[in-house]
Structures are given as structure tokens and as C-alpha cells.
Amino acid sequence: MSELIQVIDSYGLIVAFLVVGVIMFFSEIISRKIFRSKIPGSAISIFLGLVLGYIGGVFGDGEKGLSDIPIFKGVGFMGGGMFRDFTIVATAISASFLLIKKSGLAGMISLFLGLIIFFTVGVALGWAWGFRDAVTLTTIGAGACTYIIGPVTGAAIGASSDIIALSIGIGVVKTITVTILTPILAKRIGLDSEGAAMSYGGLMGTTSGVAAGLAATDPKLVPYGAVTATFYSGLGCLICPSVFYLILNYFL
Amino acid sequence: MIYGIAILAFSFLAGQWMGTLLGHWIGIDSNVGGVGFAMIILILTKEGFHRKGWFKSEMEYGVDFWGKLYIPVVVAMAASLNVKAAVTSGSLAIAAGAIPVIICFFVFPYLTKGLKAS
């Protein structure tokens, strides 16, 4: 047994791959069996990640969730800033420049409008819940944009670990809300063409939510919504910790 | 495949550098928007390589591999945060996650109408 512990201890990152693989596997099953694939497996897996972070916090009695428990310390390395930023940048490769050009001005307008609405409402709600400092409010507002913009922004401006966890939670709720409401409301809001799907992806942002929601509406629209939604994360990571933070900092 | 990863690494480092410069410039003294810059650089680099005919599908495979790890990494990140302390604000997570989405559903028809008009 002590040999196994020794192996686990020396290969933390590899252990993390196994742990996360198992989490992803169970989320896929939950997604398929319980939600009949209506809610994307990614949203469920991130939620499960948060649950494990909570359990880790209870048992490890620290501030770093599961990674405070020695055998899971590699999870903290895998979820650290280096891998997070490297993988999010890699997702941009699927964004086709041609499609972005095609969506043009309309895409840009919906992107900015979407980021402004989500950020502003997120900050307003954070304020209503009693948070007052610019760093926390910016991180909450960024989390309302997506579960990736939240932590990237929080890390850049120095938010605390619990606020970053909160911002991920907000982003996960957003993804699930978009996924559920898109097919229900698509007809009523005129979401029925390629152009509309591009504006929709830009306005809503969350790639997994938009893609899953559009797939349930009309699979042909998925690539059009996904292209602007991918850009939403890039743009959000760019302006939330800079322009939005500075504006908020100025007023507070 | 390693060429693809190298291009990704180049875009990443260049973007982070720009982000750090921007951070210095606005006085936060940390990396601001490096991820966003890096994504833009990656897309432009890929486009440039395409145009010159240097881009091979194997390169995309190298980048794609890391892109597919994005959700697993976010899961690992979620599991290593101070969730216990955040749970007290759980109601905020639900409100801030859902309310702006509902507002955007109201905004969307006006947006498409406005875009069509212009």
C-alpha cells in the first residue's frame, strides 16, 4: 500500500488526468441517463468539479478544495493558471476567420452588447448581494459572462479563491439556463437563420450552452452560433480584467 | 503535430507578453487580457499560414488536442478552489447565472431587428 501511495505522490499530474477522466465519465453518464443528453456533459462535469472542491474543502480543511488532500494535489496543478490559459487559447483554432468576417459588424455588435449586458447585470446582482469592492464585483460580473472569463479575470486582478469558485458557479448556471431555454424560446425570438444564430452566439456567449441549445433547436445552426460564441470568451478575457475593471474601479 | 503545439505556444507567449505589458501600462502589475490577445494571435497566425500554404492538418491536430483538454482543465480548476467558502453565496450564483440570460432573450429580437434595419 505504501508503494502505491508513493507512486501517487510522485506522479500528481498523471493522477489528476485519471481523476478528471473518471469525473468526465460519470458526468457523461449522468447527462445521458438522467437528463437524456439535454444538458451538456461539460456543464455537469464542472458542477461535479465544484462539488468535489466542496468535499475537499470539508475534509482537507484548506482553501484549495480537493487539492488540499495530499493524494489529489496534482488536480490543483492541472487546474492551475498555466494549463487553464493554454487550453482556452487552443480552442480558438476552431474559429474560422472567414466565418468571423462573414458575421462582420453584426457579430461584433452582438458580442459587445452581450458582454456588456452580462457583466453589468452580474455586477448589479453582486452589489445587491452585498459585495462592494471592485475586484470581487468584476470577477462576479465576468463569471456571469462565462465560467472561463470569471476565473481568468479573477486571477488577473487578484480575486480570492472563493470568489473565483463563485464566478465558475455563476457561469455553470448560465450555461445550463441557455441550454434549457434556447430550444423553448427559439421560435418566439426568431432564431431560425444562420445570421440570427451568429448574433445569438455573440449575445449569449457560452459556447457549450449555445452549441447544445442550438443542437436541440436546429443542428444546422450550431457552427454559426459556436463561432461567435468562441470569440466571446476571447473578447471577454481581454476586456473584463482591463476596460470593465478600470471603469468599475473608477466608480467605486 | 509538434509544429502545431509550437505555434500555439508562440501565440500563447506573445499574448501573455502583450497582456503583461498592458497590465503594467494600466498599473495593475499583472497579466491583463493575455488570453484574449493570444487567441487573436493564434487565429491570425493560422490564417497567415493557410494563405502561404504552410498549414497542415497535422498542425491543427496538435492544437486541437489542447483545445479538447479545456473542459477537463476547468473541471480540475473547479475542484481545487475554495468552494466551501463560496457556498454561502450560492443564491447569487443562481441569480447571476439566470437573470442576465432571461434579459438577453428579451433583447435578442430587438437586436436582430436593429441589425436588419441597418
Tens of pLDDT, residue by residue over A128-176, are: 998 999 999 999 999 999 988 999 999 888 889 889 989 999 998 898 8
* B41, B82, B107, best to mutate vs chain A, most A CBs in 10 Å: B82
* Gap between the Cα atoms of A136 and A170, Å rounded: 13
Buried b (16+ CB within 10 A) or exposed e, A91-115: bbbbbbeebbeebeebbebbbebbb
Q: Which residues of chain A neighbour B13 with C-beta distances below 8 Å?
A: none
Task: List the alpha helices (DSSP H) in chain A.
Answer: 2-10, 12-33, 41-60, 73-78, 81-90, 97-128, 134-145, 149-157, 161-185, 194-204, 207-217, 222-239, 245-251
Q: Please give the pLDDT value at position A192.
A: 85
- Is A149 in CB contact (< 8 Å) with chain B? no
Q: Determine the pLDDT at residue B118.
A: 61
Identify the CA nearest to B111 among candidates A211, A96, A204. A204
Residue A82, CA atoms < 13 Å, CB-side half-sphere = 5
Give me chain B's average pLDDT, please.
Answer: 85
| H-run or E-run covering A40 | none
Residue A146, burial from CB neighbour count under 10 angstroms (0-12, 13-18, 19+): buried
State ipTM: 0.86
User: Which of A65, A200, A233 is the closest to B81 by Cβ?
Assistant: A65
Helices B90-117 & A161-185 angle (0-180, nearest 10): 50
The residue type at A24: M
Nearest chain A residue to B114 by CA distance is A106
Note whether A21 contacts B: Cβ–Cβ < 8 A. yes
Q: Is the pLDDT of residue A88 over 90?
A: no
Q: Is the pLDDT of residue A62 over 80?
A: no
- Measure the CA–CA gap between B1 and B61, rounded to whole angstroms: 6
Contacts of B46 in chain A (CB under 8 A): 93, 97
Work out how many CB contacts closer than 8 A connect A with B. Answer: 312
Q: At what angle do helices A161-185 and B70-79 cross, to 10 degrees?
A: 130
Per-residue pLDDT, averaged over B59-63, amounts to 84
Closest-CA distance of chain B to residue A8, Å:
17
Q: Do A89 and B108 touch (CB under 8 A)?
A: no
Q: In this complex, do A234 and B36 lie within 8 Å of one another by their Cβ atoms? A: yes
Q: Which residues, including other chains, have CB under 8 Å from residue A20's CB and lie 6 or more apart?
A: A75, A78, B72, B75, B76, B79
